[in-house]
Amino acid sequence: MLNKRMRIRNCEGATRRDCLQLGLGTLLAGGLSGVFRAQAASATNLRRQADACILIWMDGGPSHYETFDPKPEAPVEIRGDFRSIATQTPGIQFSQLMTNLASISNHLAIVRSIRHDQGNHGAGNHYMMTGAPPRIPVGCGAFVSFHPSLGSVVAQQLGAPDGIPPYFSMPSMSRSGGPNFLGAKYAPFVVPDNPTSNSFRVRDVTLPSSISESRFSSRQEIRANIDHLMRITDPVAGDPALLSDEFTDKSLQLIRSPQAQAAFDIHREDEKTRDAYGRTSFGQRALLARRLVAAGVPFVTLYEGGWDHHEDLFKRFEEKVPPFESAIAALIRDLDDRGMLERTLVIALGEFGRTPKINERGGRDHWSNAMSVMFAGGGTPGGQIVGATDRQGYAAVDRILSPENFVSTIYRKLGIDPNQILYTPQGRPAHLVSDGNPISELMG
């Protein structure tokens, strides 16, 4: 049964289950074994600033006015109900609900000048998650994949140690977070369960309670004996059993991996640490993300829906933002305290910003001319604002940047060349990113 959080709808009225039923869910249908078909990481000559990225995806498009780009001097119908607050960094202000992040602004770089021309959820999501604009017009509710996502490229090029999947997404995959032509082996390992539950455990990494360790070992002996039987020797099609053996073995390695068991066991955390993140599903997933990158996972997406505020924006922000931004601040502090922040990139964003003028329903609508993106860690110089919107927040006007620049920044920090050419299974070339220039102010 889908939990309440997973049933969140955007304005087009489609749930993530609806999208998966369109057939794109088959990317994940291969189960755990498909996740492990990763090849060895490719070598790179780029200076690697980060070992991992935690991408906090605010699905629906969070308002830049009510987060990191307030406009206190604008008319009330534009500036809204919230006041601006000072941050730890002189001269930088956030919106009033961002109190915890304001207190650690020395760790943050806020980019206020990314803009694009894809003003609906499907296309905007794809552009920001892949760095490639959709090839054809895309509807608001579309679940599309014309290009490999950030997480899938990182999984394919970096891999992960100890049999752990290199790309996680919690509690679901974002609509354009898949591998496209890289293949389902680089799809994310999805952890849908709520980690606030006392019975929380990650599927497929522990034996079912109905199967004992001795029975499990016996089954593996039977499988090993069957494997001695004559194989198919079709020189064209090959033996499908042979093709799946390696992936099945890696799945079994995960079940038996002490490193995986330790990473997934959130109950090993100190109660004070769990309280610091907040006993919400998002807070505990953020804590699990920290455990995963500590275990060597290079890419984790924390999917948080419910940011499509066409109405009652201010009331909904008052309910949603405090525990959410507190958990992000706790994650950054925790990484810093453990000496991990310098090598872990933390990013928070959605597919676009929101309209300048508050509508008659007390909300803001889709707006891709301006948005704010938060960066922390991974060698990112903190305490800075990159770019600017105009005095009323209508559009980026200074240091205008694109989704390509955003995606190239992540790749370069992880030591991946955004200028490389990938090849489809049919041999067709595809630029990883058409503009491989990163955001220089973030590169350290």
pLDDT tens for 364-422 read 999 999 999 999 999 999 999 999 999 999 999 999 999 999 999 999 999 999 999 99
The region, left, alpha or beta by phi > 0 then psi within -120 to 50, assigned to residue 220 is: alpha
- Alpha helix locations (H) across 83-174? 99-102, 121-130, 150-158
Place of tokens 């935690």: 54
- Supply angle C-alpha 405, 302, 51, rounded to 5: 60
Query: Which of 185, 199, 247, 236 lies closest to 27, judged by CA?
Result: 185
Average pLDDT for the chain? 84
DSSP 302: E
Taking a C-beta distance cutoff of 8 angstroms, is the pair 47, 54 a contact? no
Residue 317 — very low, low, confident or very high, per pLDDT cuts 50/70/90?
very high
Q: Does the pLDDT value for residue 28 go beyond 70? A: no
Cis-peptide, bond into residue 171, ω within 30° of zero: yes
Dist CA 117 CA 343 (whole Å): 33
* Whole-number Cα distances in Å, 305 to 2, 99, 171, 340, 344: 14, 21, 10, 27, 23
pLDDT value for 200:
84
Domain extents in the chain: 5-203+271-442, 206-256
Please state the pTM of the whole predicted model: 0.84
Residue 187 — very low, low, confident or very high, per pLDDT cuts 50/70/90?
very high
Taking a C-beta distance cutoff of 8 angstroms, is the pair 121, 141 a contact? yes
Three-class SS state of 52: strand
Residue 26 — very low, low, confident or very high, per pLDDT cuts 50/70/90?
very low
The amino acid present at 431, given as its one-letter code, is H
Taking a C-beta distance cutoff of 8 angstroms, is the pair 106, 341 a contact? no
Residue 316 — very low, low, confident or very high, per pLDDT cuts 50/70/90?
very high
Place of tokens 């079940």: 255
pLDDT value for 40:
33
The amino acid present at 222, given as its one-letter code, is I
Dist CA 319 CA 323 (whole Å): 8
Dist CA 199 CA 265 (whole Å): 11
| Beta-sheet strands, E only, within 140-192 | 167-170, 189-190
Rg over alpha carbons for the chain, rounded to the nearest Å, is 22
Q: Does the pLDDT value for residue 25 go beyond 90? A: no
Taking a C-beta distance cutoff of 8 angstroms, is the pair 122, 346 a contact? no
CA atoms within 13 A on the CB side of 382: 21
- Supply angle C-alpha 175, 178, 179, rounded to 5: 155
Token pair belonging to 254:
């995960």
Q: Transcribe 412-436 into DSSP letters.
A: HHTT--TT-EEE-TT--EEES-SS-
Identify the burial level of 48 via C-beta atoms within 10 angstroms of its C-beta, where 0-12 means exposed, 13-18 middle and 19 or more buried. Answer: middle
Dist CA 156 CA 41 (whole Å): 7
Pairing label, strands 373-377, 366-367: unpaired
pLDDT value for 332:
98
Place of tokens 């943050």: 108
pLDDT value for 23:
36
By mean pLDDT, which of 105-109, 140-144, 280-284, 376-380 is the weakest? Answer: 140-144
Q: Does the pLDDT value for residue 279 go beyond 90? A: yes
Query: How distant is the alpha carbon of residue 397 from its chain centre?
Result: 27
pLDDT value for 235:
43
Three-class SS state of 370: coil
Token pair belonging to 121:
């959820």
Three-class SS state of 126: helix
| Beta-sheet strands, E only, within 96-205 | 108-111, 167-170, 189-190
pLDDT value for 11:
75
Residue 24 — very low, low, confident or very high, per pLDDT cuts 50/70/90?
very low
Residue 261 — very low, low, confident or very high, per pLDDT cuts 50/70/90?
confident
pLDDT value for 236:
39
Query: Which of 210, 174, 238 lies closest to 28, judged by CA?
Result: 174
pLDDT value for 220:
47
* Whole-number Cα distances in Å, 311 to 80, 306, 360, 362: 13, 12, 8, 5
Neighbours of 23 (CB within 10 A): 10
Which residue would you say has higher pLDDT here, 3 or 315?
A: 315
Dist CA 406 CA 7 (whole Å): 29
Q: Does the pLDDT value for residue 223 go beyond 70? A: no
| CATH number corresponding to 5-203+271-442 | 3.40.720
Task: At 231, give phi and psi (nearest 5°).
Answer: -90, 155
Three-class SS state of 367: strand
